[in-house]
Amino acid sequence: MYNITLIPGDGIGPEVTNSAKKVIEATGLKINWDIVNAGADVYTEKGVLVPDEVFKSLEKNKIALKGPITTPVGCGFRSINVALRKKYDLFSNVRPLKTISGIKTPFKDVDLVVFRENTEGLYSGIERSISNDSAEAIKVITRKASLRIVKAAFEYAVTNNKKKVTVVHKANIMKLTDGLFLDCAREVSKDYSHIELEEVIVDNMCMQLVMNPSQFQVIVTTNLYGDILSDLCAGLVGGLGVVPGANIGDNMAIFEAVHGSAPDIAGKNAANPTALILSGAMMLNYLGEKKKSDIIINAVLKTIGEGKYITKDLGGSSSTIEMTDAIVEKILA
Ligand code: NAI
């Protein structure tokens, strides 16, 4: 029996977390879900964005499956997602992106993982207005945070038999901050002589990714570039609806899709549940339940491959619930 915190989030969050819960339970795994919520909906109801019970649950269970949470642009509260990642030092944001048979995209053989530094960079929240006409933000890069994210990427490469890690930076312009990140990558790479360290400047990386994405295996980069590149890479494999993710620290892990709360389709039973279901599969793998994780992945791939019960973003006409039920049926069979 596992104790797992479940944070539904808002927007499409409750719909896709419900799907993921259903699919995970179909594997027969016994889970005691501790359901607590945070975000805009909770704020409206309770006047607080992250109630204490969320922190308590995370600190007790140390593992969570989380739906997306809306962050207003330009005003209001800072991102709860960024705050949770910082508070619990979930330094490694891991996003595997793989071509899925049955999804129409011009790109073939994409099989890469983005390691995004999750706790600092331009997301450190140090911003101020200088006057009505100017504002500034501070980009924080530390040796400690840079070394550990690069090490996580190399360790992944070792475990998964990858031959190359690509560090993405802009050290030609940001000589001190990105320069430090790059130096750390070079330092870590010395301990992995059998794995190549490739250095690519972020603008060139964007072009390379859309020209020939299959040349990359493991990408490691700072917070902002990682955020942007993961959405770009999602576009290579069928969109945000199919890309899972994890925020992993030394003592806690929160699993969540790359996508946000998708207000344009929220409450319409139209969201693709794949990304959160696959995040759930990543979570089971993290728990050592590889067999059950693989069962989920295979059921998802089969459902998409058959193309009968897929959501609109994948070219189909099924609802979230219909696609979820098709995946559950395959697991039970
Ligand atoms: P978004 O990822 O919510 O949506 C971008 C586009 O992708 C939209 O057209 C949406 O309909 C589509 N899309 C996203 N997920 C989908 C799914 N599962 N199935 C089908 N289509 C899907 O990005 P956006 O609009 O930039 O952000 C909306 C809100 O979500 C913002 O407040 C943002 O801050 C927040 N957000 C939260 C995240 C989290 O909680 N981890 C991550 C990213 C954004």
Q: Write down which residue in 172, 204, 237 finishes a domain.
A: 237
Closest residue by Cα to atom 4, ligand 1, is 262
158 in the same domain as 38: no
Q: How many residues does the chain have?
A: 333
Report which of 233, 230, 318, 232 is spatially closest to residue 274, judged by C-alpha positions.
318
232 in the same domain as 160: yes
Closest residue by Cα to atom 36, ligand 1, is 260
Any atom of ligand 1 within 6 Å of the Cβ of 253? no
The mean per-residue pLDDT over the stretch 80-94 comes to 92
Q: Is the pLDDT of residue 74 over 90?
A: no
Any atom of ligand 1 within 6 Å of the Cβ of 81? yes
Closest residue by Cα to atom 39, ligand 1, is 68
User: Ligand 1 pocket: which of 247, 255, 261 to mutate (most atoms <8 Å of CB)?
Assistant: 261
Q: Is the pLDDT of residue 77 over 80?
A: no
Q: Write down which residue in 174, 206, 237 finishes a domain.
A: 237
Centre of ligand 1 from the C-alpha of residue 269, in Å: 15
Centre of ligand 1 from the C-alpha of residue 275, in Å: 11
Atom of ligand 1 nearest to the CA of 80: 40
Any atom of ligand 1 within 6 Å of the Cβ of 227? no
Q: Write down which residue in 198, 218, 237 finishes a domain.
A: 237
- The pLDDT, as a whole number, for residue 47 is 84
- Position 27 confidence tier, pLDDT thresholds 50, 70, 90: very high
**Cα–Cα distance, 16 to 284 (Å, whole number):** 17
For residue 33, with 0-12 CB atoms within 10 Å meaning exposed, 13-18 middle and 19 or more buried, which class applies? middle
Q: Is the pLDDT of residue 109 over 70?
A: yes
Residue position matching structure tokens 């969109």: 239
To the nearest whole percent, how much of the chain has pLDDT over 70? 98
The mean per-residue pLDDT over the stretch 219-240 comes to 97
Q: What is the mean pLDDT of the chain?
A: 95
- The pLDDT, as a whole number, for residue 106 is 92
- The pLDDT, as a whole number, for residue 328 is 98
126 in the same domain as 74: no
The mean per-residue pLDDT over the stretch 179-187 comes to 98
pTM for the structure as a whole: 0.95
- The pLDDT, as a whole number, for residue 122 is 95
Q: Is the pLDDT of residue 170 over 70?
A: yes
First vs last C-alpha separation in the chain = 23
Any atom of ligand 1 within 6 Å of the Cβ of 259? yes
Write the CATH number for 120: 3.40.718.10
Give the domain extent around 260. Answer: 1-94+238-333
- The pLDDT, as a whole number, for residue 276 is 98
Atom of ligand 1 nearest to the CA of 70: 32
Centre of ligand 1 from the C-alpha of residue 141, in Å: 27
Residue 68: CB atoms within 10 Å? 28
242 in the same domain as 199: no
Report which of 25, 67, 26, 2 is spatially closest to residue 276, judged by C-alpha positions.
67
Q: Is the pLDDT of residue 296 over 80?
A: yes
118 in the same domain as 225: yes
**Cα–Cα distance, 183 to 190 (Å, whole number):** 11
User: Ligand 1 pocket: which of 66, 240, 313, 320 to mutate (most atoms <8 Å of CB)?
Assistant: 240
Number of structural domains (the chain) is 2
Dihedral angle sign, alpha carbons of residues 180, 112, 21, 290: negative
Looking at the annotation, which residues are catalytic? 123, 170, 203, 227
Centre of ligand 1 from the C-alpha of residue 262, in Å: 4
- Position 332 confidence tier, pLDDT thresholds 50, 70, 90: very high
Any atom of ligand 1 within 6 Å of the Cβ of 93? no
Residue position matching structure tokens 């915190």: 5
The mean per-residue pLDDT over the stretch 316-326 comes to 98
147 in the same domain as 34: no
Q: Is the pLDDT of residue 76 over 70?
A: no
255 in the same domain as 232: no
Any atom of ligand 1 within 6 Å of the Cβ of 247? no
To the nearest whole percent, how much of the chain has pLDDT over 90? 90
